[in-house]
Amino acid sequence: MHTVQDEVLKIISEDTGIPLDALFLSTRLEQDYGVIGDDIWSVLELMHSKFNIDFSELEFDIYFTPECEGFFTSLFNRRKVKHRNTFPVTVGHLINVAQKGKWFKPEQVKI
């Protein structure tokens, strides 16, 4: 029998191509592996399908970089970039979201 943690790790690994042995609870998906936009959206959709997670409180663009946001666009969105770095979405956070069945704000880190 697989645990929620096993299932979330499998979804992330299979959907992003990141090897399972390179995923840790503290792995930041965007900052460490560049998982952004459509790629992270796909992970969230698979998690929703598997665990019926309520993502209604998720404000996507303050936690994840949209696919179309390039360098120059990010210059004008410095607050969002800082927020993404201050509240990074980790593998451990996504496991907790799956266990609770609802999106909630990630823990703040000091930068």
Residue pLDDT tens, the chain, 111 long: 689 999 999 999 999 999 999 999 999 998 899 898 899 999 999 999 999 999 999 988 778 877 665 555 555 565 555 545 567 899 999 999 999 999 999 987 775
pLDDT at residue 19 in the model: 97
pTM score, two decimals? 0.84
pLDDT at residue 43 in the model: 97
In the chain, where are the structural domains located? 4-100
Fold of 4-100: 1.10.1200
Neighbours of 83 (CB within 10 A): 16
pLDDT at residue 14 in the model: 97
